[in-house]
Chain A
Amino acid sequence: MKHEGQPGNSEWVGAAMERFEGPLLRYAARITGDLERAQDVVQDTFLRLCCEDHTRLDGHLAEWLFTVCRRRALDVQRKERRMESIDDLELAEPASLELSPATLAEQRDSTSHVQRLLATLPVNQREVVCLKFQNGMSYQEISRITNLSLGNVGFLIHTALATIRQRLHAEEKLAANSHRRNL
């Protein structure tokens, strides 16, 4: 049995943190909608990693981290939701990352193009897109992380890509038109 305090483990956890802290934070923040809570989630994730025997995680460390992180983030987010439905009278919207058009407009200047496009996707599509293209996970890994079926993951990515493609096309056209007008 490995003990967490072993020197080898410490190095290993340190390396994992170096490499994955940022990506996990980005990921958790998408779920919790709040960086501070994301920080707690990620810290918690690494704490759990300390208790793991690293030889057994070899090869699927990233998958393990994202899985644990996701579950923890969802837990945290759920707690927030529970609170809201108790103390709010008129909260019709779920406490997810849904952004109203007004908020989107406000953020337009500060957020990048890709973020704006992502924000128009349903939450589940956004998540798999980030896992796939930001974190380089395979369909298989995404399926295991999110507990969605492989087919479902494929469908979500397919649909998301189709939407993004369409939007990019539309924007190009728009840009071309306005360019012409400006001439």
Chain B
Amino acid sequence: MKIEPDDPRLTAYALGELDEVDAADAALAVEESPECRQAVEEIRATANWLRIELKNEPCPKIPVVVQPENEPKAEADEKIIPFSNTKIATIASIAALAACVLFGFILPNWWNAQKKSPQLLAKNEAQPKPEIAVTPAPTPIPEVKTDTLTVTTQEPVPVQPTPLVPEVSAFSDGLGLSPATLEEKPKTVWDEAMMKRYGRMMRPAESFPLEGGAMARNALVDGGRVSQPSVLRKQDGRTAGSPSSVAELETAPALSSPATDGSSLPAYQAMKEKLEKSKRMRYALQMRPDGVGPSPIRQSSVTALYEKLEENTFLPARENPLSTFSIDVDTASYANVRRFLNQGTFPPEGAVRVEELLNYFSYDYPAAKEGEPFSVNTEVADCPWNPEHRLVRIGLKGRELAQAKRPPSNFVFLIDVSGSMQPTERLPLIKQALQMLVRKMTPSDHVAIVVYAGTSGLVLPSTSCAHKEKILAAIDALESGGSTNGGEGIQLAYATATENFIKGGVNRVILCTDGDFNVGITSQDALVRLIEDKAKSGVFLSALGVGTDNFKDATMQKLADKGNGNYHYLDTLAEAQKVLIEQMNGTLVAIAKDVKIQVEFNPARVSAYRLIGYEKRRLRAEDFNDDTKDAGEIGAGHTVTALYEIVPPGGSVKSPGVDPLKYQTTSKPEKIADSNSKELLTLKLRYKQPDGDTSKLLEYPVIDGGKRYSQASDDFKFAAAVASFGMLLRDSEHKGNSRYETVLELAEEGKGRDESGYRAEFLNLVQKAKQLRTGR
């Protein structure tokens, strides 16, 4: 085992986290390398320092408060938004004010009831009457506030408190689940120890001021599905076996117990549906300004932009024998989807681009032949989500390039240093990522740094990587502040790149931003035109997106698309490591550009087809042979994967359909040139050399060998799993039998060796989506 001082395994070794075998290997490696020994010592020293220092951090205590008071709560509300910005503070206090007003509406009863709680509690202990059985309920204030506020923005009319309570009840654990109907259940859900400690949270059943609450109560006891695992749900679950281990808890489906009173179940279900809908709507509004929003406030508050995506539909092969699209190597959508799911929410549909999910993973396609920039291979087998259909996989793999053989590079880092880049996962992340990249570069490479904010400037003129410290220091010194004039910076960056152009080398602008261009060339079209124009100079573009809320996904994607480039979303340093280090050549060294794919389907073998994903990459049939039409680039070692779902002859396909034509018969087949051809389709590709202007054509006929799904390759299965997952996330009408469970099975089967662990991570992500769907 060879270990560099900067290897995570070395840290794991130093911390005693390796298993015996690996630890022995690591010990040997450390023995041999003085640098590693030094590193291990330092890691251990740092770890010890951290342990000691962190142990000293005071542990907060939960105060034992019994008497709730009104005022402190209101203050607490103001504290909820942890921002120092005064403007925000103002907004926060308005919010708090609004919340207070609303409390006035609905809370008096609640407080009164709460004050009574100790007595009731005592009574309860003395004579165990079921109707005052006590249920734990966490302090409900934050939840109430959230939901009341939502309602305020939705309807400026005086708030009707009635619908609030069911919503609150269903959304927050244990809140308002005080069961008068829990007769058969053991009286104390509440543990004695808990009672002593958290007595203030006690709430008797009477504290429910509104009938909506009662409805929720009954319904819950009836074993309706609860949106989150709650104490009560678990209690019900005891009949079905208590989910005790962590894993079980994670995956435990909503449990139901025999209904004690079936009549209120429909009412609860209806309520739940309504809640779900309003929740979803709120979310959609939050993320998709193109959605129909009743509230102008809400619309203007939205800054993260995801363009709506119309999915490809099934097209009849007879009328539309040609399918043409540009390849795409972007991966941003996957990283973004991962971020959403890791935060426990589903991504907005517009953020899910299936082709970018597919292309996040490398596939084990055969290497390109000598003299060709990429290999092309296809596979046809059963379609897992629709057994009557066939699935065609088209895979390209760019020629590998030995790390050492990378041509000299001329990079311009174009870095957004506007105020919005301040959070750690933006500029600081970018700085770390770029420093990581610079460390990997060789003395024949050059780096320049351009920053842009209110004004743009050349921070570092093109500098040879023989002087890495200089470049690293310049990156280190970057600070954020000011507004964003993206346009000017881009011009300066391209000018710098052109000035230092290396013929036959890699010339690339690396744009790092949250995409929030707000000054200068503001219109997206103007910006795109600018980039398109600059791309002709032979300088390529890589866009690295960071940030969350005001992240302009669509802008970034378009820029990279038009700028002969690729687009990646960096959510973590690990992702930066993947994009910039592991796949450095793929990301940074283009080996062919304007790669277009055109598929001609044989109507005798294909009744209809659907290209899965690539919605933004579709080209017109005539664009295929038009060398002035821009298309995607493929990087060294990159794999590109596209899937077609095919309806075999005779198969039916649900399509909107048009009336039969009056003057000609379309239903009768015209003469098919070669109706005996066994070919399913012909795959045609066009590409240009990175510095070329004329394209080369490749053609491959594809025959369907009738492969069953079980005979398909691992990569086929895995790609199918990813596509199926994408369709589920988009809630696609074409998802067929796709289910998270089947995605998991497929992906598990197709996981292969998975040396980099990305496929395992995918499985993890699907697991999360599944939990999110079923568990909440």
A→B interface (CB under 8 Å): 1-5, 9-11, 13-14, 17, 21-23, 25-26, 29, 33-40, 42-44, 46-48, 50-53, 56-57, 60, 63-64, 67-68, 72, 74-76, 78-80, 82-98, 100-103, 106, 112-115, 120-125, 129-130, 132-134, 138-139, 144, 147, 149, 151-152, 154-159, 161-165, 168
Q: CB distance B298 to A47 under 8 Å?
A: no
In the A-B complex, the 4 residue pairs with the closest CB atoms: A22-B59, A14-B193, A114-B53, A158-B8
A156:B574 contact, CB within 8 angstroms: yes
Look across to chain A and name the residue whose beta carbon is closest to the beta carbon of B760.
A149
**Cβ contact within 8 Å between B15 and A157:** yes
Contact partner of B768 among A130, A147, A163, CB < 8 A?
A147
Q: How far is it, in angstroms, between the C-alpha of A129 and the C-alpha of B550 when the chains are bound?
A: 28
Does B194 belong to the interface (CB within 8 Å)? Answer: yes
Q: Which of B61-91 contact A (CB under 8 A)?
A: 61-62, 76, 79-84, 87-88, 91
Residues 296-335 of B at the A interface (beta carbon under 8 Å): 297-298, 300-303
Residues from chain B with Cβ under 8 Å of A134 in the complex: 51, 54-55, 57
What distance in Å separates the Cβ of A141 from its nearest Cβ neighbour in chain B? 10
B733 at the interface (CB under 8 A from A): no
Contacts of B173 in A (CB 8 A): 44, 72
CB–CB B46/A168 < 8 A: yes
Q: Which B residues touch A33, using CB under 8 A?
A: 82
A79–B81 alpha-carbon span in the complex (Å): 12
Q: Contact: A87 with B286, CB < 8 Å?
A: no
Residues A149 and B149 in contact, CB atoms below 8 Å apart: no
Say which residue of A67, A78, A168 sits within 8 Å of B246 (CB atoms): A67
Q: Is the C-beta of B428 less than 8 angstroms from some C-beta in chain A?
A: yes
Identify 17 residue pairs between A and B in the complex whose beta-carbon atoms are under 8 Å apart, listed by A's number: A25-B59, A39-B62, A43-B201, A56-B244, A80-B146, A83-B149, A90-B87, A93-B422, A93-B423, A94-B423, A100-B422, A147-B342, A147-B768, A149-B761, A157-B8, A157-B12, A162-B11
A22 and B343 in contact, given A14-B193, A144-B246 (Cβ under 8 angstroms)? no
B424: A residues at CB distance < 8 A: 98, 120-123
A60–B194 CB distance below 8 A: no
Chain A: CB-nearest residue to B239 = A1
In the complex, B47 has a CB within 8 A of chain A: yes
Chain B interface size, under 10 / 10 to 19 / 20 to 34 / 35 or more: 35 or more
Contact indicator A10/B298 (Cβ below 8 Å) = no
Residues A25 and B62 in contact, CB atoms below 8 Å apart: yes
Known contacts A133-B47, A161-B47; A94 and B549 CB within 8 A of each other: yes
Task: Give the shortest distance, in Å, between A69 (CB) and chain B (any CB).
Answer: 12
Write the chain A residue with the least CB distance to B154.
A86
In the bound complex, CA of A22 to CA of B60 (Å):
6
Q: Is the interface of A mostly helix, strand, loop or mixed?
A: helix
Q: A94 to B303, alpha carbons, bound, how many Å?
A: 12
Q: A9-B191, A42-B62, A47-B194 are in contact. Are A93 and B83 (CB under 8 A)?
A: yes
Structural contact, B50 and A114, CB atoms closer than 8 A: yes
Q: Which residue of A lies closest to B56 (CB)?
A: A112
Tell me how far the C-beta of B593 lies from the nearest C-beta in chain A, rounded to whole angstroms.
Answer: 33
Q: Are A165 and B12 in contact (CB under 8 A)?
A: no
Q: Which residues of A contact B53 (CB under 8 A)?
A: 112-114
Q: Which of A14, A26, A47, A162 has the most CB of B within 10 A?
A: A47
Q: Which residues of B contact A163 (CB under 8 A)?
A: 432
Chain B, residues 179-210, CB within 8 Å of chain A (1/0): the string is 00000001111111110011001000000000
Given A51-B235, A147-B768, the answer on whether A94 and B548 have CB atoms closer than 8 Å is yes
Q: How far is the CB of A173 from chain B (nearest CB, A)?
A: 14
Contact in complex: B344, A53 (CB < 8 Å): no
B174 adjacent to chain A (CB < 8 Å): yes
**Shortest distance in angstroms between A77's beta carbon and chain B's nearest beta carbon?**
9
Q: Nearest Cβ in chain A — how far from B774, in angstroms? A: 15
A92 and B550: CB pair below 8 A?
A: yes
Q: Which residues of A contact B605 (CB under 8 A)?
A: none
Q: Is the CB of B82 within 8 A of A25?
A: no
Closest residue of chain A to B148, judged by CB?
Answer: A83
Query: Are B429's CB and A161's CB within 8 A?
Result: no
Shortest beta-carbon distance from A76 to chain B in Å:
7
B11 touches A47 (CB 8 A): no
The answer to whether B143 has its CB under 8 Å from any CB of chain A is yes
Assess whether B529 is interfacial by the CB under 8 Å rule.
Answer: no
In contact, B193 and A82 (Cβ under 8 angstroms): no
Contact with A along B481-525 (1 / 0, CB 8 A): 000000000000000000000000000000000001000000000
- The verdict on B159 contacting chain A, using a C-beta distance below 8 Å, is no
> Which residues in window 186-241 of B have CB below 8 A to A?
186-194, 197-198, 201, 228-229, 231, 234-235, 238
Given A90-B87, A165-B43, 4 other A-B contacts at CB below 8 A? A1-B238, A60-B246, A89-B91, A138-B17
